[in-house]
Structure 1
Amino acid sequence: MTETGSPELWRDARLGTAHEVRLPKGAIRYHEAGEGPVLVFVHGYLVNANIWRKLVPLLADRFRCITPDWPLGSHIVPMPRGADLTPPGIAGLIGDLLDVLDLCDVTLIGNDSGGAYSQIAAAERPRRLGRLVLNSCETPWCSWPPGPGGFGLLKAAAGTPLTHHGLYQILRLPSSWRWRNTYGRLAKYPIDRQVMHGYVRPVLTRAAIRFDGRKAIGGVSNDFSRRAAEVLQRRFTKPVLCAWAAEDRVFPLDHGLRYAGKLGTELRTIADSYTYTAEDQPERTAEVLRDWLLRVG
């Protein structure tokens, strides 16, 4: 727990030192561990940096791991009321973070909808990127929100503050966390209760965080991810890895294989895992990343 005792503020010590940086559109908190080539991680909706807590210590001996809390509903610091949290807006935050921290030759690693945001960032602002890792995420053949599991309801409920707030009340019950339309199709194995509280309590208890999350999920569309994919196929010349959960229930493995073919790159599978490979199989995920990163340089 943090010194305040608030579960939503807790971040695993394995993520490293906490920082807060002021970007043109608002403040972002992030953690940093290790030294060496820079890895910047992008999580998806309704999780935070803790999704990487098992993976970072397996990579920090050789890489500088930066794990931000993106404003996707489970973060700590709310964005200004008028901040652009559409997919291009979130992608812009990624680019702004790299600029403000003056990071170069970055490996951008995106999981779940974080992979869609990473694709947009790579398509629109590739200058500071050296490599891109798409880890079980949206492809041109996936809807956003993804269809399997009924996640489209999240966007529909974001139409009004009342429906958005009401939809998430079920998350007060820990038994709901394993349902197919919450986290049950994303993590094969139960996530630690302390981590789960950090994911769900902000959207339940903090109006400003809930407002950010509602803006973010209400603005998603596969139009954005498909346009980014087209740009990446035509113009992105840097190494790309598709690292896919072999048992993904949300982003089908055959979609990942097809996308890897379109991008002219390889796909590596991570066995015994759903979408959250860093949660279900951190050792295998680290092995895949480390082997590829050392090979492509």
Structure 2
Amino acid sequence: MDTTARTADTYEIELSAGTIAYQDSGGDGPVLVLLHGLLMDASLWEGPSADLAADHRCIAPTLPLGAHRHPMRADADLSLPGVARLVAELLERLDLREVTLVGNDTGGVLVQFLMADGEERVGRAVLVSCDAFDNFPPGLTGRTLVLTGRLSPRMFGLFMQQMRVRAVRRLPIAFGWLTKRGDAATARWMRPVLRQPAIRRDAVRLLRTANRATRRLLEATAERLPLFDRPALVVWAREDRVMPPEHGRRLAALLPQGRLVEVDDGYTLLPLDRPVELARIIREFVHATRVL
């Protein structure tokens, strides 16, 4: 099967929280599991995956972070630790081992939680410009989004209607400081929360858990990252205005096998802004740390 066909395959799996969609390129190369952030979906990774699928198996789930397609069960734990446990469940259900777990934006929080928990199916970790230490919720974007979680689902939906307008999406309180070139993707990510009341309810449930307790947990998680003695790569946008570049350097220094690569000409969402360069960096890291 050619690379283009592999990257297009989408599947669904029933997990404890509900139905999760995921993209899977197939193939027998090293497995990459690629995680997105709040109000995003698996398409964040389409650019890097189109390149990496030539010699890797790329799996990108759409997690219940506000741009998902299927509402979660009423009793689902939609806190970030709960979503991290859902990722671990996905790894188990798909019987994935020696996974390279990659997270960007809030997806990097999920990766950190699993690193700190010593998830045995994770062989390597890649953190790409993400929340870390006390930077939660991150920047104007994160703080604004968490504040909207105080609204009722109906009022949240009315507030988010503004995101139909490109000029609003490009504001610093929205996606303007997250991506230089990815506006088409951000417009697409808004559709579920604008069109589906049940997704709005899930999004509000999630945002209401994003509080000081989550920040304290993220800070405590950083203290446990030195226990992750496996290959780890930190990739950071030099121009990042939401995730401080200094945090990338601190993360790399904390990790026993950590290394840092800084990338020019992009903001937080490097999979959108620099997909080819990010794919090259990840490929070189996996190849350099692969045990044959």
The two structures have a TM-score, normalised by structure 1, of 0.90
2:243 to 243, 248, 251: 251
> What are structure 1's unaligned runs of at least 5 residues?
1-11
Aligned-partner Cα distance in 2 for 1:286–1:94:
22
Aligned pair count reads: 281
Using the aligned pairs only, state the percent identity. Answer: 36
Structure 2 residue 106 is matched with structure 1 residue 113: yes
Aligned-partner Cα distance in 2 for 1:112–1:219:
17
Shift in alpha-carbon separation, 1:209–1:188, aligned structure 2, 3 A: same
Aligned-partner Cα distance in 2 for 1:122–1:103:
16
What are the residue-to-residue correspondences of 1:107-186 with 2, within 5 Å?
A: 107-124=100-117, 126-142=119-135, 144-146=136-138, 148-161=139-152, 162-186=154-178
Q: CA offsets, 1:209-238, max 9 Å, x none? A: 1111112222122122222222222x2111
Structure 2 residue 29 is matched with structure 1 residue 29: no
Aligned-partner Cα distance in 1 for 2:32–2:259:
19
Aligned-partner Cα distance in 1 for 2:141–2:175:
11
- Equivalent position SS for 2:190: helix
The two structures have a TM-score, normalised by structure 2, of 0.91
Query: Which letter does structure 2 place at the counterpart of 1:154?
Result: L
Root mean square deviation of aligned Cα: 1.7
Shift in alpha-carbon separation, 1:125–1:25, aligned structure 2, 3 A: farther
C-alpha deviation, 1:14, in angstroms: 7.1
- Equivalent position SS for 2:283: helix
Aligned-partner Cα distance in 1 for 2:65–2:285:
29
Aligned-partner Cα distance in 1 for 2:206–2:278:
27
User: More deviation in 287-296 or 219-228?
Assistant: 219-228
1:205 to 190, 195, 198: 195
Query: Which letter does structure 2 place at the counterpart of 1:243?
Result: V
Structure 2 residue 209 is matched with structure 1 residue 219: yes
Query: Which letter does structure 1 place at the counterpart of 2:205?
Result: K
Query: Which letter does structure 2 place at the counterpart of 1:16?
Result: A
C-alpha deviation, 1:78, in angstroms: 1.2
1:189 corresponds in structure 2 to 181
Shift in alpha-carbon separation, 1:19–1:149, aligned structure 2, 3 A: same
2:272 corresponds in structure 1 to 279
Aligned-partner Cα distance in 2 for 1:14–1:200:
26
> What are structure 2's unaligned runs of at least 5 residues?
none
- Equivalent position SS for 1:151: helix
Structure 2 residue 45 is matched with structure 1 residue 55: no
Shift in alpha-carbon separation, 1:170–1:14, aligned structure 2, 3 A: farther
Structure 2 residue 282 is matched with structure 1 residue 289: yes
Contact 1:141 1:255 (8 Å CA) reproduced: no
C-alpha deviation, 1:34, in angstroms: 4.1
Aligned-partner Cα distance in 1 for 2:7–2:216:
33
- Equivalent position SS for 2:103: strand
